[in-house]
Structure 1
Amino acid sequence: MKKIKSLIIIILLMTITAQSQETKTSTDKKWWKEAVIYQIYPRSFKDSDGNGVGDLKGIISKLDYIKSLGVDAVWLNPVYESPNDDNGYDISNYREIMKDFGTMKDFNLLLKGMHERGIKLIMDLVVNHSSDENNWFQESRKSRDNKYRNYYYWWPAEKGKPPYRWSWFDVNSNAWKYDAMTDSYYLHYFSEKQPDLNWNNPELRKEIYDMMKFWLDKGIDGFRLDAFQFISKDDSFPELPKEIINKPLEIVKYYGNGPHLHEYIQEMNSEVLSKYPNVLTVAEGAGDSPKAALKFVDPDRKELNIAYHFESVDVGKHLNDFGLVKYKDIFSRYDKEFKDKGWLSIFLANHDQPRMVNKFGNDTPEFRELSSKMLTTFILTMRGTAFYYNGDELGMTNAKFNSIDDYQDVDTRNRYLGLKQNGGDLAAFLEDQKQTSRENSRTPFQWNSTVNSGFTTGKPWLKVNQNFVTINAESQEKDPNSVLNYFRKLVKWRKNNPVLIYGKYMLLDRENPKVFAFTRELEGKKILVLLNFSADNATVNTGIDPKNYKIINSNYIYLDSIKNAILRPYEALIIEIN
């Protein structure tokens, strides 16, 4: 009998331990889980010297503003030395600062200023490709036996034309570029000035790991890995299936996630990341499914920290065209896969997307502020690390340029040129770009109502959105009900309520075509979030007794009851359930 009792006790202890471990896994506290990360596009944030280009000193001058937002970290788009073919994502020297942005001394001062204010700095790690002006590539071109030759993918012309590969930024949509110097073709998945690096070469990988240590030793707090899913390729380059040619989203499955992808990331972790245990790593475009995404950030695999998948933004021109029910399913599928381990990001915009209020909300004068606040509520109440793009805290909108001359982006300009060469409908293309171009998110930050919105005293590198007179930070500072101050309030409230960070997520009223409703629950505390994604009054069926609630937050100036569960246009409510 004693043996049976002892066995029962052991089993109970094992069960309690297992349950405790499960709880620990799902709520294991990390600074980057609790963080709100603010993305800064440096070229467009603040110009300090009047040359029309934002720079590091400009960011330094606005550190107190960034601090006032309550954010924990800044993700800084590339500031490395670059000829700027793709706005800094074509790097010619990984250990120097682009002259447009300043000097390494400026960078050191920026890092110091951020850390003094309790703000961490996350940098882009762009290592699928370099610039063709990078010394590695310049050497690689010189001869077939140059020691840097295998830093890139070369295809000798005597083997015939290489297998077709689609290129994102190439006018003629061919990712192989002929180079007469060695009678060979080199691979570029993006611009022809962005040759792909050959990660199969261990010497190349060592160069990259040493470069990462260079920046981490400076004291930066992590990396966002750009286009990293492409670093491993099938270098036999089999022919693409005909049915997917010119279908970018399908092509990605064949271009990326090569046979050594996870092997290389685990090596990166072993050689670099494990030696800097508090740094953050963000896996851009992780996988093509929740299960695939989890592999990159499952802590047991010792790879990366946060999965930054694209399904939540790959919804076409506007969310209304895609459908809210399908959109809810995306988040629910990912949350289900990640409920016990791994960690997700939550975002609606970045430098490669149009403004979030145009894509997911409503930019009309009647609804811009309301829908901006509703979208902010969504980002800051979902489970996952919140990423927020600069200017969205003001409710900045798409610029909607009328002429191709107003665009600087290699993607828009090359696609326009390709259409022109092939007799395409240029007017229709420009009309489409008003809603979809990533240049819409890159217009200068709107600081005030003076000339060029206070961004620069010179001619801005990209036109300022002409609504800066009414949409700017200075005017919103004075308005307690502004989009800006709403963002600050929600950031503070999120930080004071762990239920919004670690709490369990549950979708409600799934079939509702207008309302996204869900609960967050942790340690007996339950929060209900109701978000009307439409310009109409909308009803919602939560299944929760409306008598037992307390409205914590609304994006409307005056609160209203939720009698009969009717939400006003673009209304966002955060409700505590008793």
Structure 2
Amino acid sequence: MEIKKWWKEAIIYQVYPRSFQDSNGDGTGDLNGITQRLDYIKDLGANAIWICPMYKSPWSDYGYDISDYYKVSEAFGTNEDLYRLIAKAKEKGIRILLDLVINHTSDEHEWFQKALANPKSKYRDYYFFKKGANGKPPNNWRSYFGGSAWEPVPNEKNMFYLHAFTTKMPDLNWENEEMKQELYKMINWWVEKGVSGFRIDAIMNIKKTMLAGDAQKDGSDGLVAIDKYIINQPGIQDLLFDLKKNTFAKHDIMTVAEAAVPDDELENFIGNDGFFNMVFDFRAADIDVPETGEWFLPTNWTVNELRDALLTAQTSVQKMGWGATYFENHDQNRSINKYFSRNKEDISEVTKKMLATILLGFRGTPVIFEGEEIGMENIELASIDEYEDVATHNQYNNGLASKLDEKTVFDLVSYRSRDNSRTPMQWDASLHAGFSTATPWLPVNPNYKVINAEAAIQNKNSIYHHYKNLLSLRNHGTFKNVLIYGKTVPKFADLDNIMAYERVLNDQKVLYFANFQNKTMEFNPSDFTGNLLSNNYDELLIQDGKFIAQPYQAIVIDRNV
């Protein structure tokens, strides 16, 4: 019997605050802008908002380098603005979730500054400071952003600090009990302020298997990828249990971990007594990125592989616990471009509605990223210099260093750039898409005059209303229990380019079906009998006793009739 929880019935709307709504005319989105748009989020059908980092930060990695966990960045407003947002959202039945970034801090955090200032300070052990040899780092780990994961400490010979990400993001030492208690205190403080949960960033990196000396290199730079030494290492589960015991378990909150967890370990992470309520699965979202992580190398994935990735995640997670389902977020390109990069002529309202149908029928808490619900697309900028994202620039430089053609590298890297999801929200057809009265920090996609929320709301056949109808189906009335708590059962798995599954609970069955290809397919109509609940075409086509699934058609059918 499935245990009912409020976070299983949540629909999360993810906000990248810098790009959502500017309330004060400085070209940057802010917390008051989110407050202004609460009715829009509520009307869509969402009842929780996940806000990307809005803490004080020097912004070397988009706010994931936090210099003060207790203070809102001036760019986004004040703590009082956040408290007001929490209160106003609560009035409308919407909960607020924050990003929790506790693998590292900014190098401008007070702890790190004190660690630099005094080698004998207790704060030295809050981080990883290690001696090198003859001016060389302690080992040859490569950071996620390229280059050595060890940075020389200023004015100290042969002393280095560890940073898995940028040099301005030193990793915290989770073996230090006092440091952990400081983090636990901060987490509980935010819950007391009214926060209903957290998306936990890079949490699988907190346990390090320290390496003395160099390992065998895996690249021409003489370095080795750090992930094999700091992701899901032995002993991490003890740290995660302690984190939960001292924070999450004390409150009725939602916890969503950014954690690629092997299927055989899922129960420990998301079971009834798991460390978190749910985790994100990366198999489908990263299908366009090779194992090496090099965006400039295409993966040549197939629809069948995408289908299998999605449905394997569904069936493996539901055996052990709960999941969070998504196609887009702040670290991804737009899903319509991801899944149609090789046949751009098929990017249309039909295919956007098809993706919505696939996503919003899955078991798990759905996460909709800002603009996804109106069909926002990748932006096409003219040169690499127009991109803000540091990862985009690193990938571009690495592609050039690999001696690939400059245009090929640019096309692939810009298509995968995280800036594609970070362009300002397209609210209407006015100047700057209604996002700001000033020039936005990142260009607005030129298609905003056609693709915008105002136009979508007015058009009852829009992608927006397709999302709204699917979300209403999930969270209201006859189908609520089966679509939230029912199992996912794959269907038509033997057919190429067909993505289909039933949601099943007791004697209720709801079929989600998508013909993920640009050609028709014939089916026996008996497999589709029932009440039609959703369709991205105007009608179901029956010819010569056959159901004709049209190109990219997606339907939802109540099979209980």
Superposition TM-score, scaled by structure 2 size: 0.92
What secondary structure sits across from 1:182 in the alignment?
Answer: coil
Match among 269, 275, 284 for residue 258 of structure 2: 284
Tell me, yes or no, if the aligned pair for 1:209 and 1:268 is still in contact at 8 Å: yes
The residue correspondences of 1:426-445 to structure 2 (distance < 5 A) are 426-445=406-425
C-alpha distance in structure 2 between counterparts of 1:54 and 1:408, whole Å: 16
**Aligned equivalent of 2:295:** none
**Aligned equivalent of 1:308:** 280
The residue correspondences of 1:507-522 to structure 2 (distance < 5 A) are 507-522=490-505
Match among 440, 449, 453 for residue 473 of structure 1: 453
What secondary structure sits across from 2:155 in the alignment?
Answer: helix
C-alpha distance in structure 2 between counterparts of 1:339 and 1:397, whole Å: 31
Tell me, yes or no, if the aligned pair for 2:141 and 2:226 is still in contact at 8 Å: no
The residue correspondences of 1:161-310 to structure 2 (distance < 5 A) are 161-170=137-146, 173-183=147-157, 184-236=159-211, 239-243=214-218, 252-276=227-251, 278-287=252-261, 289-300=262-273, 302-310=274-282
Tell me, yes or no, if the aligned pair for 1:122 and 1:224 is still in contact at 8 Å: yes
- Residue 574 of structure 1 aligns with an amino acid whose one-letter code is V
Tell me, yes or no, if the aligned pair for 1:293 and 1:309 is still in contact at 8 Å: no
| Correspondence 1:571 to 2:553 | yes
| Correspondence 1:55 to 2:30 | yes
Tell me, yes or no, if the aligned pair for 1:512 and 1:540 is still in contact at 8 Å: no
C-alpha distance in structure 2 between counterparts of 1:247 and 1:571, whole Å: 50
**Aligned equivalent of 1:494:** 474
**Aligned equivalent of 2:50:** 75
- Residue 552 of structure 2 aligns with an amino acid whose one-letter code is Y
**Aligned equivalent of 2:105:** 130
- State the 1:161 CA deviation: 2.7
Structure 1 range deviating more: 246-255 or 426-435? 246-255
Structure 1 range deviating more: 230-239 or 391-400? 230-239
**Aligned equivalent of 1:387:** 367
- State the 1:321 CA deviation: 2.9
C-alpha distance in structure 2 between counterparts of 1:182 and 1:53, whole Å: 39
Tell me, yes or no, if the aligned pair for 1:448 and 1:475 is still in contact at 8 Å: yes
What secondary structure sits across from 1:195 in the alignment?
Answer: coil
The residue correspondences of 1:6-21 to structure 2 (distance < 5 A) are none
User: What do the CA deviations read for 1:395-433 (whole angstroms, capped 9, x no partner)?
Assistant: 000002121221111111233455667876443322112
What secondary structure sits across from 1:396 in the alignment?
Answer: coil
User: What do the CA deviations read for 1:346-384 (whole angstroms, capped 9, x no partner)?
Assistant: 111110000011112478576421111111111110111
Unaligned runs of 5+ in 1: 1-23
- State the 1:306 CA deviation: 0.4
| Residue 492 to residue 158, structure 1, CA distance change in 2 (3 Å) | same
C-alpha distance in structure 1 between counterparts of 2:391 and 2:528, whole Å: 53
C-alpha distance in structure 2 between counterparts of 1:403 and 1:59, whole Å: 31
C-alpha distance in structure 1 between counterparts of 2:407 and 2:300, whole Å: 22
Match among 472, 489, 501 for residue 506 of structure 1: 489
- Residue 291 of structure 1 aligns with an amino acid whose one-letter code is D
- State the 1:502 CA deviation: 1.2
What secondary structure sits across from 2:320 in the alignment?
Answer: coil
The residue correspondences of 1:519-534 to structure 2 (distance < 5 A) are 519-534=502-517
The residue correspondences of 1:397-412 to structure 2 (distance < 5 A) are 397-412=377-392
- State the 1:229 CA deviation: 0.2
C-alpha distance in structure 1 between counterparts of 2:523 and 2:161, whole Å: 56
**Aligned equivalent of 2:305:** 326
C-alpha distance in structure 2 between counterparts of 1:422 and 1:495, whole Å: 49
- State the 1:475 CA deviation: 0.8
Tell me, yes or no, if the aligned pair for 2:143 and 2:226 is still in contact at 8 Å: no
| Residue 137 to residue 534, structure 1, CA distance change in 2 (3 Å) | same
C-alpha distance in structure 2 between counterparts of 1:535 and 1:467, whole Å: 24
Tell me, yes or no, if the aligned pair for 2:174 and 2:207 is still in contact at 8 Å: yes
- Residue 17 of structure 2 aligns with an amino acid whose one-letter code is P
- State the 1:439 CA deviation: 0.8
C-alpha distance in structure 1 between counterparts of 2:359 and 2:222, whole Å: 30
Tell me, yes or no, if the aligned pair for 2:57 and 2:66 is still in contact at 8 Å: yes
**Aligned equivalent of 2:5:** 30
User: What do the CA deviations read for 1:464-509 (whole angstroms, capped 9, x no partner)?
Assistant: 1010010001111110001111111111011132211111211122
What secondary structure sits across from 1:516 in the alignment?
Answer: strand
**Aligned equivalent of 2:532:** 551
User: What do the CA deviations read for 1:11-67 (whole angstroms, capped 9, x no partner)?
Assistant: xxxxxxxxxxxxx2xx21111112111100000000111111000111111111111
Structure 1 range deviating more: 72-81 or 505-514? 505-514
C-alpha distance in structure 2 between counterparts of 1:166 and 1:52, whole Å: 36
C-alpha distance in structure 1 between counterparts of 2:378 and 2:221, whole Å: 27
Structure 1 range deviating more: 322-331 or 113-122? 322-331
- Residue 169 of structure 1 aligns with an amino acid whose one-letter code is F
- State the 1:250 CA deviation: 7.6
C-alpha distance in structure 2 between counterparts of 1:248 and 1:105, whole Å: 46
Structure 1 range deviating more: 473-482 or 400-409? 400-409
Unaligned runs of 5+ in 2: 291-297
Structure 1 range deviating more: 136-145 or 346-355? 136-145
C-alpha distance in structure 1 between counterparts of 2:177 and 2:220, whole Å: 32
Structure 1 range deviating more: 247-256 or 85-94? 247-256
Structure 1 range deviating more: 363-372 or 31-40? 363-372
Tell me, yes or no, if the aligned pair for 1:136 and 1:148 is still in contact at 8 Å: yes
C-alpha distance in structure 2 between counterparts of 1:59 and 1:550, whole Å: 38
- State the 1:338 CA deviation: 3.0
C-alpha distance in structure 2 between counterparts of 1:237 and 1:448, whole Å: 56
| Residue 314 to residue 364, structure 1, CA distance change in 2 (3 Å) | closer
- Residue 115 of structure 1 aligns with an amino acid whose one-letter code is K
% identity of equivalent residues: 36
| Residue 486 to residue 425, structure 1, CA distance change in 2 (3 Å) | same
C-alpha distance in structure 1 between counterparts of 2:321 and 2:220, whole Å: 34
Tell me, yes or no, if the aligned pair for 1:83 and 1:133 is still in contact at 8 Å: yes
C-alpha distance in structure 1 between counterparts of 2:289 and 2:182, whole Å: 40
- State the 1:272 CA deviation: 1.2
